[in-house]
């Protein structure tokens, strides 16, 4: 009869456990590296994906700067102009939600959001600071609700920061976060688009704007 020492079994089991632990650690490191490099990144990788949120689009475009294209001859060539208009809560143009100023040049876009407004929650919102900047991205093509493409319109995307004061009956709160502005400008100098404010990329407010630049 063969006799196996208990100590030998324990040493063998300990060896297996160590190997398994090392494999688990190795897999964890591999997953971490793949996530950091974007191989396992969640969400869309195409900045023009339908329904993409502006912060996800901005991140992709910043990562792919070296792949940016120059504007085509079909697209409107931008001379310096300025848009001054109101921002409305998306889907509700009954009340202004502050004023937007957007400056457009041949290669860049920048501006600010200011003023104040009375919110639907009964509180007063005063925008104490808001600036954003960005540029045109010729790879994005304008398509109207009927599916017709207008190659002359140029698309822009901007990012910045905002700060506002929310005043209630017995409280005052300062709100801060990121602001994203994206839109279109055409040969008629009509500027239209959407503005988003968010503090966590999950909860956000969306606004609309439209008007003629000068």
pLDDT digits (tens, 9 = 90+) for 173-214: 999 999 999 999 999 999 999 999 999 999 999 999 999 999
Residue 19 belongs to domain spanning: 1-42
Indicate whether 103 and 204 sit together in one domain: yes
Indicate whether 131 and 192 sit together in one domain: yes
Handedness of CA 38, 39, 42, 43 (dihedral sign): positive
> Count of domains in the chain?
2
> Considering the entire predicted model, what is its pTM?
0.77
What is the pLDDT at residue 170?
Answer: 87
Residue ranges in the chain modelled with pLDDT below 50: 6, 38-39
Angle at alpha carbon of residue 213, lines to 59 and 163, rounded to 5°: 50
In whole angstroms, give the CA distance from residue 36 to residue 47: 19
Indicate whether 69 and 173 sit together in one domain: yes
Strands 154-167 and 142-143: what pairing?
Answer: unpaired
What is the pLDDT at residue 142?
Answer: 94
What is the pLDDT at residue 35?
Answer: 57
What is the pLDDT at residue 13?
Answer: 60
* 24 falls within a domain: yes
Distance, first Cα to last Cα, the chain: 100
16 backbone dihedrals φ, ψ, rounded to 5°: -60, -45
């Amino acid at each position: 009869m063969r006799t196996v020492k208990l100590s030998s079994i324990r040493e063998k089991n300990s060896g297996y456990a160590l190997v398994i632990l090392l494999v688990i650690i190795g897999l964890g490191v591999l997953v971490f590296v793949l996530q950091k490099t974007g191989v396992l990144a969640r969400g869309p990788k195409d900045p023009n994906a339908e329904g993409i949120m502006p912060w996800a689009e901005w991140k992709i475009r910043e990562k792919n700067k070296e792949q940016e294209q120059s504007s085509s001859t079909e697209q409107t060539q931008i001379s310096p102009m300025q848009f001054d208009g109101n921002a409305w809560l998306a889907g509700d143009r009954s009340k202004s939600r502050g004023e937007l100023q957007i400056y457009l040049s041949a290669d860049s876009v920048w501006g600010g959001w200011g003023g104040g407004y009375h919110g639907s929650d009964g509180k007063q919102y005063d925008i104490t600071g808001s600036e954003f900047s960005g540029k045109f991205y010729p790879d994005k093509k304008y398509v109207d609700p009927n599916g017709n493409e207008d190659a002359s319109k140029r698309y822009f995307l901007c990012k910045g920061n905002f700060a506002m004061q929310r005043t209630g009956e017995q409280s005052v709160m300062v709100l801060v976060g990121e602001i994203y502005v994206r839109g279109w400008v055409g040969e008629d100098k009509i500027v239209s688009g959407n503005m988003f404010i968010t503090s966590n990329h999950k909860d956000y407010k969306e606004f609309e704007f439209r008007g003629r630049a000068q």
